[in-house]
Amino acid sequence: MFTNNHSDRARLALLAGSLLVLAACSSSNNGSNSSQNNPPPANPPAAPVTVMVFAGDDDSGDIQNTISWALDPNATDYTVFWANAPGVTENSNVVVPTLSGTRYVVHTGVDVVTGNTYYYRVRAGSAGGTSALSDEVAGTPQQSATNNSLNDVAWNGVDTLVAVGDSGVILTSPNATTDPWVDVSLVAVPQQLTGVTWDNVNSQFLIVGAGNTVVTGDGSNWVQEDLSNLPGADNLQDAAWLGDKYIVVGNNATILTSNVDGSLWEAQDPGPNLGTTAFNAVAANDTRIVVVGTNGTILTSTDNVTWAVQPLAENNDLNDITWDGSQFTVVGSNDTVLTSADGLTWTSHIPGTSDINFVAVTQFDSGLVQDPVLSTVGSSGTLVIDPDADPGAIVHTGTNRQLGGVTLVDDGVTPRYLVIVGNDGTVATAQVN
């Protein structure tokens, strides 16, 4: 017979209490572990930045828009939304790319029509969620009007762009976006055309090219100027307006200056030991003219008559130069980017590219703007914004063709954009902030 005395009941009560305490502690510990195993709060990537649209065409395929952005190390994927009107949302169409990479997509096919404007926003994603949409950007592609390589482009500041290229091709467009490029070549000038500039005094474009070719005109009507008074026929490469005359440079150390309207020309002596040097480009500010050429040549003058060779800043070929109101910028082979406030002392920059031959830098032929956009283009379809920023912002263009000329369209009203030309008739635009 089981007996339950006082001491047994006390021991049972103590045991029950101990079990309750253990159960409570176990419950508390389990709660703590559950809290530790909960996933951390979502941490989505930031909205994509440096979003750009390179909109254009060459003679080999469909017109296309290439949308690119800066990579975010916290993002694992990107989605590009598009529409035919401003106001892109996450309910808009999603770009189904014909080509894509880690930081770009190519939008082409039946959705992309010449002269239509397309609007884009980009969203980044990761395990932590999705970002807000990027700022909206737009692109308006135009079809190429030639299969010849285009070497330079200039804007008159109002309503006309002119691009020039091989076999004497001259193209014009009011804006290179909603209005097409039209061939306005001069039949009597089949030579390669290499440079074009605009001046507001004569209200005319001036084009230069092979065989001492100089052509002036308003964008539709052209006159071939007579340079028969000059001995030989050199390949002219570039031209600039000096305020009261033109200056033109070319192969075999050629420097020519004109009268006010470009109808009379004379040769200038650049000095000794420069006879075989190719002068590729020229630019000027209010006090100094700077000419650049092969093998790192930099030549300066304050009167366009007496010239001084500057010490080598680089031994690479220097292909183009611009003055943006505060500095000269020179670009050339092997990723060369140089800047100078006075044309005498030069600083070398790292644009962030590799083995690129930079061919052209932004020109401001129709006049300096309040906030100039510096860019450079070159081999392998390369476009770099702010190449002097160490590094610059590399824009994916969706082409491997060499780009040969770039100018800025900034009317102070519509969003400003770069107009870019290149090999195989490439014509393109890129909106910039």
Q: Do the beta carbons of residue 180 and residue 137 sit within 8 Å?
A: no
Superfamily (CATH) of domain 52-139: Immunoglobulins (2.60.40.10)
Average pLDDT over every residue of 177-200: 95
Residue 165 clears pLDDT 90, i.e. is over it? yes
Confidence of residue 60 (pLDDT cuts 50, 70, 90): low
User: Is 60 exceeded by the pLDDT of residue 6?
Assistant: no
Q: What mean pLDDT is predicted for residues 121-133?
A: 97
**Span 118-135, average pLDDT:** 97
> 428: Cβ–Cβ under 8 A, 6 or more apart, which residues?
54, 55, 56, 57, 141, 397, 403, 419, 420, 421, 422
pLDDT of residue 35 exceeding 70:
no
- Whether the link from the prior residue into 391 is cis, omega within 30° of 0, is yes
Model confidence band, residue 30 (pLDDT cutoffs 50, 70, 90): very low
Per-residue pLDDT averaged across 75-104, rounded?
96
> What is the 3-class SS of 314-382, one letter each residue?
CCCCEEEEEECCCCEEEEECCCEEEEECCCCCCEECCCCCCCCCEEEECECCCCCCCCCCCEEEEHHHC
For the ranges 271-275, 309-313, 375-379, 420-424, which has the lowest average pLDDT? Answer: 271-275
Q: Is the pLDDT of residue 252 over 60?
A: yes
- Residue 218 to residue 207: CA distance in whole angstroms: 11
Strand partners, 199: 204
299: nearest Cα among 287, 286, 312: 312
Instruction: Tell me the mean pLDDT in the region 228-239.
Output: 90
Q: What pLDDT does residue 291 have?
A: 98
d(CA 362, CA 416): 13
pLDDT of residue 132: 97
| Count of helix runs (H) and strand runs (E) in the chain | 1, 36
Query: Would you say the pTM of this structure is higher than 0.85?
Result: yes
Every domain of the chain and the residues it spans: 52-139, 150-431
Q: Is-contact 391 351, C-beta < 8 A?
A: yes
pLDDT at 86: 97
Percent of the chain residues past pLDDT 90, beyond the cut:
82
Q: State CA 10 to chain mean position distance.
A: 89
Q: Under 8 Å CB-to-CB from 165, ≥6 apart: which residues? A: 146, 148, 149, 150, 151, 171, 192, 193, 421, 425
Residue 2, pLDDT score: 33
Buried b or exposed e, range 347-382, using 16+ CB within 10 angstroms: eebebbbeebbbbbbbbbbbeebeebbbbbbbbebb
211-219's contacts with Cβ under 8 Å and 24+ in sequence apart are 211/235, 212/236, 213/189, 214/248, 214/262, 214/265, 215/170, 215/186, 215/189, 216/261, 216/262, 216/263, 218/160, 219/156, 219/160, 219/162, 219/172, 219/184
pLDDT above 60 (res 25): no
Q: Is 50 exposed, middle or buried (0-12, 13-18, 19+ CB in 10 A)?
A: middle
**234 or 261: whose pLDDT is higher?**
261
- Extract the tokens encoding 201: 């005094």
Confidence of residue 36 (pLDDT cuts 50, 70, 90): low
Average pLDDT along the chain = 90
How many whole angstroms separate alpha carbon 309 and alpha carbon 343?
11
Query: Which residues lie closer than 8 Å to 266 by C-beta, 6 or more apart?
Result: 229, 230, 256, 257, 258
User: For a pLDDT cut of 70, what percent of the chain falls above it?
Assistant: 90
> Are 344 and 285 in contact, with CB atoms under 8 Å apart?
no
Q: Given this model, what pLDDT does residue 38 score?
A: 62
Which pLDDT value is given to residue 21?
A: 31
Q: How confident is the model at residue 233 (pLDDT cuts 50, 70, 90)?
A: confident
Residue 223 has pLDDT above 80, yes or no: yes
pLDDT for position 111 = 87
Tokens of 219: 């964008």
> Domain 150-431 is of which CATH architecture?
7 Propeller (2.130)
The SS3 of residue 152 is strand
